């Protein structure tokens, strides 16, 4: 069986497989570790593996490479990118900085390494609130690239960060109507949505969290069932962790097509070195790791 072959090859090649919570269930099953961006960043930093197969989108593989520069980081699906990360290109940010030299730049970790090389600090959806609250700056703050996450932080913290005009197609697509319909179908289930959803969606949900935050929420809740407003892979992850609870999706499937590009046959090929190896110019490596390290120190 392919799964057995993958597990054997993983051992033989001394490879660690990291997988984001949004990848297909069979890929989650063979991973050494599943998690959100923050958890995977920490794992990449702490593991001393010489080979990492990263089942996620490209910016995540780049982050793993920045934190574990000696490791060979292979992406199983060369074309798995994050459209939101592509919405803030380094050239556009460089031009913006030239016009706004005083701005302090907070970047969601969903950014390319080239863009990270131009920012002051990174955040994930799991630590953004904590880090933005602690920032000690009188400078105007630009939050990029996710305008929804930025707007949700502005509203919750009563602050006025400038927002880049990026967004995640997958989460931006979720409407208040979807939430209302799901509530009618499952009236006793709290609604948990991702912080990348629009502010009006967050407003009518019971909680807006990162995927790791969703796991903690469920663990600490006495509810028996939950409505989950994020990519469907998370529903599988929650069902695996909490088999005695029920998890419902929204009336239409919430899918990230890029995460779904990662399949077991591609993971097998990646273990043979056939995927896309992340390689970054040295000057980008040196500069882009700084805002991530700042984030890890503060989170
Ligand atoms: S779910 Fe959205 S933010 Fe996450 S990788 Fe897919 S497109 Fe990017």
Which protein residue has the closest C-alpha to ligand 1 atom 1? 256
Q: How far is the CA of 244 from the centre of ligand 1 (A)?
A: 29
In a mutational test of the pocket of ligand 1, which residue from 256, 257, 261, 262 has the highest number of ligand atoms less than 8 Å from its CB? 256
Q: How far is the CA of 32 from the centre of ligand 1 (A)?
A: 22
Per-residue model confidence as pLDDT tens digits over 161-214:
999 999 999 999 999 999 999 999 999 999 999 999 999 999 999 999 999 999
Instruction: Give the pLDDT band (50/70/90) at residue 3.
Output: very high
Per-residue model confidence as pLDDT tens digits over 78-92:
999 999 999 999 999
Q: How far is the CA of 236 from the centre of ligand 1 (A)?
A: 17
In a mutational test of the pocket of ligand 1, which residue from 169, 197, 230, 235 has the highest number of ligand atoms less than 8 Å from its CB? 169
Rg over CA atoms, the chain: 19
Work out the burial of residue 135: count CB atoms within 10 Å of its CB; fewer than 13 is exposed, 13-18 middle, 19 or more buried: middle
Q: How far is the CA of 261 from the centre of ligand 1 (A)?
A: 12
Residue 82 in contact with residue 58, Cβ under 8 Å? yes
> Which strands form 33-35's sheet, in the order they lie side by side?
33-35, 15-20, 51-55, 72-75, 276-277
For residue 201, what are the CA distances in angstroms to 69, 177, 193?
A: 39, 9, 8
pTM value surpassing 0.85: yes
For residue 15, what are the CA distances in angstroms to 29, 46, 75, 204, 273?
A: 16, 14, 13, 43, 11
Domains for the chain: give ranges and CATH numbers: 2-81+259-280 (3.40.50.10800), 84-168 (3.40.50.10800), 170-248 (3.40.50.10800)
Per-residue model confidence as pLDDT tens digits over 8-35:
999 999 999 999 999 999 999 999 999 9
Q: How far is the CA of 257 from the centre of ligand 1 (A)?
A: 9
């Amino acid at each position: 069986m392919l799964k057995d072959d993958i597990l054997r090859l993983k051992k033989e090649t001394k490879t660690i497989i990291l997988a984001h919570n949004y990848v297909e269930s069979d890929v989650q099953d063979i991973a050494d570790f599943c998690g959100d961006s923050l958890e995977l960043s920490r794992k990449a930093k702490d593991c001393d593996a010489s080979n990492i197969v990263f089942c996620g989108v490209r910016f995540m593989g780049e982050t793993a490479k920045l934190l574990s520069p000696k490791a060979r980081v292979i992406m199983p699906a060369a074309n798995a990118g994050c459209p939101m990360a592509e919405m803030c290109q380094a050239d556009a940010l460089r031009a913006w900085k030239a016009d706004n030299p005083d701005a302090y730049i907070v970047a969601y970790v969903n950014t390319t390494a080239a863009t990270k090389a131009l920012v002051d600090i990174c955040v994930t959806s799991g630590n953004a609130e904590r880090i933005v609250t602690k920032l000690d700056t009188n400078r105007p703050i630009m939050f990029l690239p996710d305008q929804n996450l930025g707007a949700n932080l502005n509203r919750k913290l009563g602050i006025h960060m400038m927002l880049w005009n990026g967004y995640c197609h997958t989460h931006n697509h979720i409407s208040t109507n979807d939430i209302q319909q799901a509530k009618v179908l499952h009236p006793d289930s709290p609604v948990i949505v991702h912080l990348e959803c629009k502010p009006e969606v967050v407003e009518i949900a019971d909680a807006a969290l990162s995927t790791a935050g969703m796991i903690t929420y469920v663990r600490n809740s006495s509810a028996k069932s939950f409505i989950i407003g994020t990519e469907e892979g998370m529903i599988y992850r929650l069902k695996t962790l909490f088999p005695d609870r029920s998890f419902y999706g929204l009336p239409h499937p919430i899918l990230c097509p890029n995460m779904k590009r990662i399949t077991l046959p591609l993971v097998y090929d990646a273990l043979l070195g056939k995927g896309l190896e992340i390689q970054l110019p040295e000057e980008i490596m040196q500069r882009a790791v700084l805002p991530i390290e700042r984030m890890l120190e503060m989170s």
